[in-house]
Amino acid sequence: MDERRSTSASGPRDAEPLLREVTGRVLRRHRHERGERLVETARRAGVSSQYLSEMERGRKDASSELLAAVAGALGLTLFDLTREVGGELARATLVSVPRMSGPPTSVVVPMRGLRGPVALAA
């Protein structure tokens, strides 16, 4: 079931990535950066390599417990993982918003202690 084909009040969701897809890409990137095989990370996290593979491919909506276990196996905290995933989602959303002519309708304000832009609507 591909949820990207669904529509909302604002229209189709084709441009916005799913949370599970971005989470999977971040997990895979960290595993590759560590030079690990899927089976090694899965064993440390206490999940099957098949399930971890499906998580990395964005096929599974993992529980917070599983996300914490996999993040920990990769040397990350759940906060580290969610912050990075949130940043990627924010960038994807900001990039996919159509530009309008006329005066700006949003302002990007950097916030101390947080990474990435925060958009405030006027």
Class for the domain spanning 15-121: mainly alpha
pLDDT tens-place string over residues 28-42: 999 999 999 999 999
State the pLDDT at residue 16.
Answer: 84
Beta bridge partners of 11: 8
In sequence order, what are the residues at sequence separation of 6 or more whose Cβ sits closer than 8 angstroms to the Cβ of residue 34? 41, 74, 75
* Alpha-carbon distances, residue 94 vs 106, 116, 117 (angstroms): 11, 11, 9
pTM of the model as a whole: 0.68
Question: Where is pLDDT greater, at 119 or 73?
Answer: 73
65-92 pLDDT tens trace: 999 999 999 999 999 999 999 999 999 8
Residue 99 has pLDDT above 80, yes or no: no
